[in-house]
Amino acid sequence: MGKFYVIDTFLVYSSTQSFIYKSKISNEEQRLNSILIASLNLFYGTKK
């Protein structure tokens, strides 16, 4: 019983940490993703 509680706490903690991390870098990540998508579109556009 105690082990399951520890695992649950760890899962909740890790998911919370990842959520905080994602919300922190979301703006920068979106900008990088849009740049990446644009460059991929350009690359595939010139390849065709």
Predicted local confidence at residue 7, as pLDDT:
65
pLDDT in tens, 3-46: 666 667 777 787 787 776 766 666 777 788 888 888 888 887 77
Predicted local confidence at residue 33, as pLDDT:
81
Cα–Cα dist 6/27, whole Å = 33
Predicted local confidence at residue 36, as pLDDT:
84
**Domains of the chain: which residue ranges?**
23-48
Which is nearest to 24 in space by CA: 13, 12, 36, 16? 16
**Maximal CA-CA distance, the chain:** 60
DSSP the chain: -HHHHHHHHHHHHHHHHHHHHHHHHHHHHHHHHHHHHHHHHHHHHHH-
